[in-house]
Each structure stands twice: as C-alpha cells, then as structure tokens.
Amino acid sequence: MAREVSPNVKNSLESALEHDHGLVSQKPQTVAALARSHLHVTASSRQNQFEDQSREQAMTTTADEKDAIRELMARYCHALDACNFSEVACLFAEDGEWTTTYGKALGRAQIETLLASVVPKPGEGPQRKHYIANIIVELVAADRASARSDYLVIRESPGGLIPVMGGTYLDLFVKRQGLWQFARKELVHNIAGDMALKQGR
C-alpha cells in the first residue's frame, strides 16, 4: 500500500527541482563566464605550484652545493693532518694557489712540495690537528664560490696537547667537471703560538 507524501516533503522537493531548473536554464553567457573563471583559477593554482617547486629545488641545489664545499674543506684538514700532501694538492685546481705568511705555492706540484717541506711527518716533529668552524660559504656563480672560516690548530708537546694557532681561512673555489676544487687558499694567522713546523717556521 502506497504512503501519501507529506506536504512538507512535497514542498521541499518542488523547491529543489525549481533550483536545479534555474541553474540549468541560466544564459549561455553566464555559464561560459563561470567556465572561464574556473579555468583561470586552475591555471593560477598550477603556476603557483610550479613556482613553489622551482623555489624548493633551487634551495635544495644551493644547500647541496654548499655541503659539497664544506666537505672539501674538511677533506683538506683530514689529508693535511695525515701528512698526505699529494692528496691535499689534488683538492686544488691544476692552477690553484696556496698562500700564507711563510710561503706561497702555485699549482699542485708546488703545493705538495711546499707542504712537505714545512709540515713534519710522524717522527719528524710534533703531530697536529686542524679544526674549522664558523664557515660562511657564498655561491658567486654556478661554478664559483668563496668561503670564510675560522681554524684552530692543536699539536703535541711534552706537557700534553697545546693550541698553537687561531686563524682564518679565506678560500676561493671553482667547479670543474662537476667537482668543487680550491682555486685559492689563504691562511691568515690571527693568534699564533709555537707551531713547531720544519725549518723553524
């Protein structure tokens, strides 16, 4: 047995139908305008999303480049403390420069020779450790960068470990074949003690 629809439900259904009919019967110009507005909003959203992704990718690339440079600076300290002067030289570009108050070298061969003549190997004199901090890296171009950092040198002595140098590294870098290398490294001796280097330096 069919149930009779209540007047309230009937009125609600009629109102809904009238509303739907009104939307469908809008002028074609109005419908087209709504469509264009929707496409504009969609295009703007996609453009904003693309710009956000581009900015994020650029930030990631910058961070990766700076990390690679910091690792290069760390490898320099590790190789120097191990008295592996040929490895130190290989961290420089072929025409790279190493300079400080007691010497200057241009090119990998000269850099290796100078360091070997100054830094004592085990058995030749006190051993030492280099520590770098407060590193500021600036990307000058896609293949050029610079950095300023503080360094501390601690060495052996008969009375125990002693700090013998507090200085500044002023570095220039070049990127060749996808790898960052030192283009120039300058050692500034801000606070110097007895370094116990070879040749009385």
DSSP class of 121: P
- The number of folded domains in the chain is 1
Segments forming the whole domain that contains residue 104:
51-200
Q: Look at residue 180 and tell me if it is in a domain.
A: yes
User: What is the domain-level CATH number for residue 70?
Assistant: 3.10.450.50
Q: Does 111 map to a domain?
A: yes
Amino acid (1-letter code) at residue 163: P
Residues 6+ apart with CB under 8 A from 81: 127, 128, 129, 130
pTM beyond 0.85, yes or no: no
Tokens representing residue 147 in the block: 């950095």
- Locus of tokens 């004592």: 120
- The answer to whether 155 and 128 have CB atoms below 8 angstroms apart is yes
Cβ atoms of 86 and 112 within 8 Å: the answer is: yes
**CA 36/CA 43 separation, integer angstroms:** 11
| 174: β partners | 144, 181
Give 156-187 as a 3 state SS string: CCCCCCEEEEEEEEEEEEEEECCEEEEEEEEE
Task: State pLDDT tens for residues 33-82.
Answer: 555 655 555 556 666 665 556 555 655 699 999 999 999 999 999 999 99
Q: Let me know if residue 32 belongs to a domain.
A: no
In the numeric block, the tokens 């190493």 are attached to 98
Tens digit of pLDDT for each residue in 103-134?
999 999 999 999 999 999 999 999 999 999 99
Task: Collapse the DSSP code of 195 into the 3-class scheme (helix H, G, I; strand E, B; otherwise coil) and give the result.
Answer: coil
The upper half-sphere exposure of residue 21, i.e. CA atoms within 13 Å in the direction of its Cβ, equals: 6
Element (H, E) at 54: helix 28-81
At 199 the pLDDT is: 74
Q: Closest by alpha carbon to 100, among 153, 167, 152?
A: 167
Q: Residue 81 has what pLDDT? A: 98
Structural domain includes residue 26: no
Mean pLDDT, range 183-200, rounded to an integer:
92
Residue of 32 and 74 predicted with greater confidence: 74
Of the candidates 201, 196, 103, the one whose C-alpha atom is nearest the C-alpha of residue 155 is 196
Is residue 31 in a domain? no
pLDDT score, position 102: 87
Q: What does pLDDT average to over the chain?
A: 83
- Is 24 inside a domain boundary? no
Is residue 85 included in any domain, yes or no? Answer: yes
Q: What is the 3-state secondary structure (H, E, C) of 11-52?
A: HHHHHHHHHHHHHHCCCHHHHHHHHHHHHHHHHHHHHHHHHH
